[in-house]
Chains A and B, each alone.
Chain A
Amino acid sequence: EAGVAQSPRYKIIEKRQSVAFWCNPISGHATLYWYQQILGQGPKLLIQFQNNGVVDDSQLPKDRFSAERLKGVDSTLKIQPAKLEDSAVYLCASSLVAGVGEQYFGPGTRLTVT
């Protein structure tokens, strides 16, 4: 069974530029999550999708971050414009059922904003 795929693995941009991350969850997993992990901290949930609907986006900075999950499969997270404090690893995870049981994490995208 293929795992959660993410791309790119690394990205370096200047502040005020835009960036997009892509995630393809494990086949059949209805729930998809985007987390932000700043160095030395635990993952922070940005947005949680159930199929193509949003379950929770209470910690998503909506003035600059957006996410979509078209057709209930893969997802894109965008930042526009980026700030220095957005430097972090962006982790995508998926699970069979919303918030229950194991979440499987992708390898992450390491973003550096200069």
Chain B
Amino acid sequence: QKEVEQNSGPLSVPEGAIASLNCTYSDRGSQSFFWYRQYSGKSPELIMFIYSNGDKEDGRFTAQLNKASQYVSLLIRDSQPSDSATYLCAVNGPVAGGGGSNYKLTFGKGTLLTVNP
């Protein structure tokens, strides 16, 4: 069973600080990695994705990927109270028996982030 592990939190940071969210995955065949944000009672929305080892920056968000360690992280700089939400790590891997051409997302349980004013 392919697994995606996240600390459930809650992670509490003061406004303006850096929030660091971590995720590990078990399937070495995973191809791409996504971070979704989910506000309470709402649907997940994509923040960013990363395919290659290293860092990828988008505004206040930086995703980091280390395939050798099977580890992906999300850094949020200058955290704002509006960033308070659950952050879901999702890993894209091949569907078993799919011939290598079909992929599906496996989500972690999410980390609840609270940014305190």
Query: Cβ of B43 and Cβ of A91 under 8 Å apart?
Result: yes
| A45 nearest in chain B by CB position | B104
Residue A107 CB within 8 A of the other chain = yes
Tell whether A105 pairs with B88 under 8 Å between CB atoms, given A42-B109, A99-B105, A100-B103. no
A41, A98, A100: the one within 8 Å of B109 (CB): A41
Decide: A55 and B104 in contact? CB cutoff 8 A. Answer: yes
Choose one: A40, A41, A99; the contact of B92 (CB below 8 Å): A99
* In the assembled complex, A48 has its CB within 8 A of some CB on chain B: yes
Interface pair B104/A105, CB less than 8 Å apart = no
**Interface bits B26-69 vs A (CB < 8 Å: 1, else 0):** 00000010100000001111100100000000000000000000
Q: Does residue A50 face the partner (Cβ distance < 8 Å to B)?
A: yes
Which residues of B, 77-117, contact A by the 8 Å Cβ criterion?
88, 90, 92, 95-96, 98, 101-110
The answer to whether A108 has its CB under 8 Å from any CB of chain B is yes
| Closest partner residue, chain A, to B86 (CB atom) | A42
Count the A residues whose beta carbon is within 8 Å of the partner chain — how many?
Answer: 23
Closest CB-CB distance, A6 to chain B, in whole Å? 9
Write the A74-114 contact mask toward B (1 if CB under 8 angstroms, else 0). 00000000000000000100000011111101111000000
Please tell me if the beta carbons of A45 and B106 are within 8 angstroms of each other in the complex: yes
A–B complex contacts, Cβ < 8 Å, 18 sampled: A33-B105, A42-B90, A42-B110, A43-B88, A44-B107, A48-B104, A55-B95, A56-B95, A56-B98, A98-B101, A98-B103, A99-B92, A99-B95, A100-B92, A100-B103, A103-B105, A105-B45, A106-B43
